[in-house]
């Protein structure tokens, strides 16, 4: 009997434990059971599926039951769900919702403003939409003559580059020098100060080729010292390669440049001229005083040698030869008369 009593007591305790287990399980399952079929914000989505259970919404793509103003299925972004999470990048446009590079141009084909560079952030609007535009002029860098907007064209920056100094046409911080701001780099500019006078000519005339106010015409004494003649009665100070320049600068340039060697040789020319003239005069005197035909013959040979050696000019040589011939003729005539008289004397 004692054994039966213990068994009955054990069964009673087991029933109590089972009842408590069932009661606790019922309590735990009650909230979910109560939630089934509950739609707190009355938007058609049960609270258990509604991502925004306390806000009436109509989104169905990225989230369920959240606000979707344009009705395209993608929910409006909020503090807990941003565009990076998948919210609508264009909440007021029913034709677009995706913008991978976050530049404001939709990544959907066939739209008027479809992003032509969907993975590159850019604001271009000319030719291409949403592509890189460094200078913000709405022209994409690929089609922009001056991509970095520094005022110098891309090809000019490349042309101005050297092995030691490379210029980047896509960086406004890499710009070649342009002192006259004419968009032509100084290394390519024939007129760096933009005064109308070529740099090469200004440098040759010692005029500052980087100073617009100084030109070869006003370089001396600080005043205008020359003019440019354009024909007729037209004179001014505007340089023109094809016109005539009349100036102190030009005169000094010619005097110290093209004529400097000839001018330096003038004393030498004078010395040679005087030396030749003296030699010519000396020989001419000797010829006029000479009475020996054989000696005149020797003098003629000497004259020929002096002409060949360029000690005497050819003209002087010809004059001396003529003088020798005349002197020989005079001596010959005189000798002939002398012989004739001598013969007459003997005959008497």
Interval 63-99: pLDDT, tens: 999 999 999 999 999 999 999 999 999 999 999 999 9
Please state, in angstroms and as integers, the Cα–Cα distance from residue 165 to each residue in 82, 99, 175, following that order.
46, 40, 10
Q: Is residue 335 part of a domain?
A: yes
Give me the pLDDT at residue 230, please. 85
pLDDT of residue 56: 93
Same-domain check for residues 266 and 343: yes
pLDDT < 70 stretches in the chain:
1-17, 19-20, 22-37, 257-265, 269, 271, 338-348
Neighbours of 146 (CB within 10 A): 21
Q: Is residue 5 part of a domain?
A: no
Spell out the residues 6+ positions from residue 197 whose beta carbon is closer than 8 angstroms to its own.
Answer: 191, 207, 209, 215, 216, 239
Q: 273 and 216, same structural domain?
A: no
CA 270 from chain centre, in angstroms, equals 54
Q: Does residue 1 sit in helix, strand or coil?
A: coil
β-strand partners of 78: 81
Domain that holds residue 233: 199-256
Q: Based on the structure, what is the number of domains in the chain?
A: 2
327 occurs within a structural domain: yes
Residue 292's pLDDT is what? 82
- Confirm whether 240 is domain-assigned: yes
Say whether both 277 and 323 belong to one domain.
yes
Residues 224 and 302 in one domain: no
- How much is the pLDDT for 300? 85
Do 334 and 268 share a structural domain?
A: yes
Chosen domain end from 208, 231, 256? 256
What pLDDT is attached to residue 328? 82
Q: Is the pTM of this model over 0.85?
A: no
Q: Do residues 121 and 104 lie in contact, with contact meaning Cβ atoms separated by under 8 Å?
A: no
Q: Is 209 a domain residue?
A: yes
Decide if 21 is inside a domain: no
Asked whether 181 and 151 are in contact (CB, 8 A), the reply is yes
Domain for residue 165, yes or no?
no
Task: Assess contact for 320 and 287: CB atoms under 8 A.
Answer: yes
Say yes or no: 235 and 302 in one domain.
Answer: no
Q: Is residue 231 part of a domain?
A: yes
Same structural domain, 267 and 252: no
What are 73's two structure tokens? 């299925």
Question: Which residue from 120, 122, 126, 172 is spatially nearest to 146, judged by alpha carbons?
Answer: 172
Whether residue 334 sits in one domain with residue 283: yes
* Pair (245, 276) in one structural domain: no
Nearest to 185 by CA among 166, 203, 202, 204: 166
């Amino acid at each position: 009997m004692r054994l039966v009593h213990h068994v009955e007591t054990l069964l009673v305790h087991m029933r109590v434990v089972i009842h408590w287990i069932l009661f606790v399980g019922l309590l735990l399952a009650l909230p979910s059971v109560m939630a089934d079929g509950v739609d707190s914000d009355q938007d058609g989505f049960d609270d258990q599926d509604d991502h925004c259970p306390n806000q009436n919404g109509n989104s169905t793509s990225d989230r369920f039951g959240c606000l979707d103003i344009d009705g395209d299925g993608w929910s409006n972004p909020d503090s807990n769900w941003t565009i990076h999470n998948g919210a609508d990048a264009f909440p007021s446009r029913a034709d677009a919702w995706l913008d991978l590079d976050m530049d404001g141009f939709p990544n959907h084909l066939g739209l008027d403003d479809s992003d032509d560079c969907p993975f590159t952030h850019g604001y271009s609007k000319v030719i291409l939409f949403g592509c890189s535009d460094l200078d913000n002029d709405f022209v994409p860098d690929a089609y922009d003559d001056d991509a970095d907007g520094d005022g110098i064209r891309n090809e000019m920056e490349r042309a101005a580059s050297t092995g030691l100094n490379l210029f980047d046409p896509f960086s406004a911080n890499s710009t070649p020098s342009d002192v006259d701001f004419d968009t032509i780099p100084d290394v390519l500019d024939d007129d760096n100060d933009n005064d109308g006078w070529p740099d090469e000519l200004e440098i040759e005339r010692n005029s500052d080729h980087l100073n617009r106010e100084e030109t070869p015409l006003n370089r001396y004494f600080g005043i205008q010292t020359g003019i440019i003649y354009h024909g007729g009665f037209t004179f001014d100070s505007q340089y023109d390669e094809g016109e005539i320049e009349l100036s102190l600068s030009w005169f000094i340039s010619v005097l110290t440049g093209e004529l400097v060697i000839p001018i330096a040789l003038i004393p030498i020319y004078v010395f040679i001229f005087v030396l030749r003239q003296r030699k010519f005069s000396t020989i001419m005197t000797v010829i006029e005083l000479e009475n020996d035909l054989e000696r005149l013959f020797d003098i003629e040979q000497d004259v020929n040698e002096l002409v060949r050696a360029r000690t005497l000019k050819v003209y002087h040589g010809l004059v001396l030869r003529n003088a020798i011939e005349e002197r020989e003729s005079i001596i010959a005539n005189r000798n002939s008369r002398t012989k004739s008289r001598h013969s007459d004397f003997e005959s008497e």
